[in-house]
Amino acid sequence: MDQPDELRELRIVHKALADVNRLRIVQRLAYGDASVTDLIEEVGLSQPLVSWHIGRLRAAGLVATRRNGRETTCSLRPEAFEAFVARERTILGLAAAPETGAPRSAAS
């Protein structure tokens, strides 16, 4: 069964966040920018693995990188997370749901 483009769009971000190492990188970047070297030390993975995980997060639009000589600095894009949450709610039909804390019924 072919998936609608909207659902593929959501899947890219969900897959990017479905790995515990990528979540650890995101968690670290929430405190501020970090070099790949910093992330290697904090996450405890090899440079190729950290770079690969950063690539997945960049592809999902959640992380930005910039070069400074031979070093790459990574930063979180909080606006991307906010935009994703809003877009996901719209695509899934939750944007108009009342903020009561109770799940929507199947009849609504």
* Domain edges within the chain: 5-91
If pLDDT is split at 50, 70 and 90, which confidence band does 7 have? confident
Residue 92 predicted with pLDDT over 50: yes
What share of the chain in percent tops pLDDT 70?
A: 85
β-pair type (71-76, 34-35)? antiparallel
Q: Is 44 left (phi over 0), alpha (psi -120 to 50) or beta?
A: left
Give which of 35, 26, 20 is closest to 74, Cα–Cα: 35
> What architecture is the 5-91 domain classified under in CATH?
Orthogonal Bundle (1.10)
Measured distance CA(39)–CA(48) in Å, rounded: 12
Instruction: Label residue 97 by pLDDT band (50, 70, 90).
Output: low
pTM score above 0.95: no
| Dist CA 60 CA 54 (whole Å) | 10
Polymer length in residues for the chain: 108
pLDDT value of residue 9? 84
